[in-house]
Amino acid sequence: MNAMTLTTSSGGKIVNPNDEQIREALSALDVGRDDEGWAILEQTEMDYIQVSGDRTSSFAMEYQTSDTDRHYRAAREDFSLEQVVQAFADYRDGKIDYSAYGDWSRITW
């Protein structure tokens, strides 16, 4: 399996993050402070899961597999910190079930 890289809007990067590093990175997102808040966990440039938001306002979630024709956004935009930490950990471990997070819509560019 390829190395996973967790990158955040504050410029932080962690290669192969453990559960605690994922939790710390997502907890540190602060839209009010940074004017944006996002984190992306990528296996490759075209395969990743990402969130935007913060623990106060909640999170929106997206993922992409293979190419931009397979980019999806969750219908919900109210994911809790615990839910996005779990999603990132499951993605890292290769066992994510996106349907567990509700409906998804393909993004068309």
Tens digits of residue pLDDT in 77-94:
999 999 999 999 999 999
pLDDT at res. 71: 96
pLDDT at res. 23: 97
Looking at the predicted structure, is the pLDDT value of residue 60 above 90? yes
pLDDT at res. 35: 78
Strands (E) located in 22-65: 38-44, 47-54, 58-64
Tell me phi and psi for residue 96, to 5 degrees.
Answer: -75, 140
pLDDT at res. 1: 59
Looking at the predicted structure, is the pLDDT value of residue 108 above 90? no
Looking at the predicted structure, is the pLDDT value of residue 12 above 70? yes
**pTM, entire model:** 0.94
